[in-house]
């Protein structure tokens, strides 16, 4: 395929490097770029195989989200294929900076081999993030920095199913941006932890970037342990089901159901988060951090032209310490509209702008590459 498509895949992977690395900071993956990876894999050059037959690309990705504001992610990558039947592999480095001074840098390698039966990713990164953390009903400006090491392996069970594991090491510190003697104690000051996740995925989508039919099921069972504290192990289970239905020739329905269970001793950044765990638009991802979560989202998509489309979305999320207490505070509701522009005629890579309003009357602007789900 064309060198242009190969370079566009670099654009997706540049954001994916950063997104996969800094998921320990809630919703830092809001660049949305990681959803492009699989789509361009299918279009990348399948003729050149081997380490010396790759190509280099530089990829900028603008973003804006509720957590860190507007910014730019920049990636440098080397593309290669281990064999003709496997997806494209990447070795790269990425960096981002946002308007509030948040920065992050990561090194990453993602390999697909043995006719796509195996997928392996290795990532190392550091971040220095500024964001607002909700403690109770009040929010406080905080600074979180740290390093993360992440490795993940997936094995194909059949054409649509993968199973595997992820191992993560994280060393992070949290502090108030400004000293405040009247502020409550932070939920965590320092944390050094290791987590191990069992992963299971089923993907029947007709298009991995902008699907009109099929579904994607993603299950993640995690066990974590704080190394700098005694008796501080915890667990978390997350299930996401995303379905797609055509509505005529030019419209479609996308919907997502997310469930999450986390132990009481789970660190705040690994808690179930409306906006972080489920990609929900309209709320700061640190606003509703709890041990249980259940959310529903739906989005209608309509193509006005071959490259311009619009979306209307709405959702409701429930958060609480137990499933029996999920509805004690009522549903957290948000809705909005968005515009999409297809970057290339050859594949469905979208530049997205969304405006969401929540039930408190707060508006949030999102800018990213890709569909939300």
The pLDDT of residue 6 is above 70: no
CB atoms within 10 A of CB 73: 25
CB burial of residue 98 (10 Å; 0-12, 13-18, 19+): buried
pLDDT for position 265: 92
Question: Model confidence at 347, in pLDDT bands (50, 70, 90)?
Answer: low
Could you list the residue range(s) of the whole structural domain that residue 130 is in?
Answer: 3-369
pLDDT for position 230: 81
More confident residue, 42 or 155: 155
pLDDT for position 49: 54
**Distance between CA atoms of residues 12 and 349, nearest Å:** 9
Mean pLDDT of 65-69: 89
**Distance between CA atoms of residues 157 and 340, nearest Å:** 35
Q: What percent of the chain has pLDDT over 70?
A: 85
pLDDT for position 22: 46
pLDDT for position 37: 43
Render pLDDT for 12-33 as a digit per residue (tens, 0 to 9).
Answer: 443 443 443 444 444 344 444 4
Render pLDDT for 275-294 as a digit per residue (tens, 0 to 9).
Answer: 999 999 999 999 999 999 99
Mean pLDDT of 38-67: 63
Mean pLDDT of 98-113: 94
**Distance between CA atoms of residues 162 and 152, nearest Å:** 12
pLDDT for position 346: 65
Render pLDDT for 164-205 as a digit per residue (tens, 0 to 9).
Answer: 999 999 999 999 998 877 889 898 889 999 999 999 999 999
CATH number of the domain to which 235 belongs: 2.40.160.50
More confident residue, 249 or 79: 249
**Distance between CA atoms of residues 62 and 257, nearest Å:** 28
pLDDT for position 103: 96
Domain count, the chain: 1
**What DSSP string runs through 144-165?**
EEEEEEEEEEEEESSSSEEEEE
């Amino acid at each position: 395929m064309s060198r242009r498509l190969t370079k566009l895949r670099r654009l997706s992977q540049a954001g994916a490097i950063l997104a996969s690395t800094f998921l320990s900071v809630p919703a830092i993956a809001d660049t949305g770029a990681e959803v492009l990876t699989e789509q361009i894999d299918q279009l990348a050059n399948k003729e050149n195989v081997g380490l010396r037959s790759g190509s280099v690309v530089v990829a900028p990705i603008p973003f804006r989200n509720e957590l860190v504001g507007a910014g730019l992610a920049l990636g440098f990558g080397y593309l290669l294929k281990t064999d003709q039947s496997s997806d494209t592999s990447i070795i790269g480095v990425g960096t981002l900076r946002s308007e509030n001074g948040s920065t992050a840098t990561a090194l990453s390698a993602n390999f697909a081999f043995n006719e796509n039966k195996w997928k392996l990713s290795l990532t190392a990164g550091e971040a220095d993030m500024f964001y607002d953390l909700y403690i109770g009903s009040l929010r406080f400006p905080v600074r979180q920095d740290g390093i993360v090491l992440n490795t993940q392996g997936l094995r194909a069970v059949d054409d649509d199913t993968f199973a595997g594991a992820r191992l993560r090491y994280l060393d992070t510190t949290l502090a108030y941006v400004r000293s405040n003697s009247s502020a409550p104690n932070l939920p965590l000051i320092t944390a050094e932890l290791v987590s191990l996740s069992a992963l299971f995925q089923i993907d029947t989508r007709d298009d991995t970037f902008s699907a009109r039919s099929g579904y994607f099921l993603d299950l993640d069972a995690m066990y974590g342990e704080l190394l700098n504290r005694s008796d501080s192990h915890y667990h978390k289970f997350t299930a996401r089901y995303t379905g797609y239905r055509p509505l005529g020739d030019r419209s479609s329905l996308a919907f997502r159901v997310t469930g999450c269970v986390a132990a009481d001793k789970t660190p705040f950044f690994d808690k179930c988060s409306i906006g972080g765990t489920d990609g929900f638009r309209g709320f700061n991802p640190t606003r509703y951090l709890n041990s249980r979560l259940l959310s529903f989202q739906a989005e209608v998509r309509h193509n006005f032209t071959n490259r311009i489309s619009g979306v209307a979305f709405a959702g409701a999320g429930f958060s609480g310490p137990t499933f029996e207490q999920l509805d004690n505070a009522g549903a957290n509701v948000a809705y909005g509209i968005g515009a999409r522009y297809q970057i290339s005629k050859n594949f469905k890579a979208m530049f997205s702008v969304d405006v969401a309003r929540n039930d408190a009357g707060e508006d949030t602007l999102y800018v990213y590459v890709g569909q939300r789900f």
